[in-house]
Amino acid sequence: MTEISVWLNKTMNRIDNIQTRLKNTLSPLECALEDESALHAGHPGAASGGGHYRLRLVCHQFEGLSLVARHRLVYDAVRDLMQTDIHALAIVALAPSEIAHIPD
Q: Return the higher-pLDDT residue of 66 and 100.
A: 66
CATH of the domain at 77: 3.30.300.90
Q: Is 27 helix (H, G, I), strand (E, B) or coil?
A: coil
Rounded Cα–Cα distance for residues 81 and 70 (Å): 18
pLDDT score recorded for residue 85: 87
- Please give the single-letter amino acid code of residue 57: L
Among residues of the chain, what percentage have pLDDT more than 90?
58
pLDDT score recorded for residue 9: 56
| Domain coverage including residue 37 | 3-101
- Look up the pTM and report it: 0.78
Position 33 pLDDT exceeds 70: yes
Give me the mean pLDDT over the 84-89 stretch.
Answer: 89
Question: Beta strands of 1-104 (E only): which ranges?
Answer: 30-35, 51-58, 86-94
Q: Return the higher-pLDDT residue of 16 and 42.
A: 16
Q: How many domains is the chain partitioned into structurally?
A: 1
